[in-house]
Amino acid sequence: MPQHKSCEKRVKTNAKSNQRNVSYKTQMKSSVKKLRSISDKEVIQDELKKTYSLLDKLASKKIIHKNKASNQKSKLSKYANSLS
């Protein structure tokens, strides 16, 4: 157990932020899976925009690294372009 009051507060805030970050990462993974399951060219563009927005948001909040967001966006755009 923490000995100092500030350490007790840090434990609480770390637990809150950890829970929030796990939620965001789950949301990101679900969005990517949903996008990869789409096989229609018109439908995928709308979902791609939403997923890009989510990835940028998570990168700006430093929940994921900015390069990870870029890599994900690149892979998703390749997938979207490969659809006929």
Running along the chain, 84 residues long, what does each successive block of 10 average in pLDDT?
Answer: 93 96 97 94 92 97 96 96 85
Residue 76 belongs to domain with CATH number: 1.20.58.110
Q: Which pTM does this prediction carry?
A: 0.84
Q: What is the structure's pLDDT at 42?
A: 87
Q: What is the structure's pLDDT at 84?
A: 66
Range of the domain at 34: 5-82
Q: What is the structure's pLDDT at 1?
A: 83
Structural domain tally of the chain? 1
- Listed in order, strand segments (DSSP E) in the chain are none
Burial class of 67 by CB neighbour count within 10 A (0 to 12, 13 to 18, 19+) = exposed
Contact 38, 47 (CB under 8 A): yes
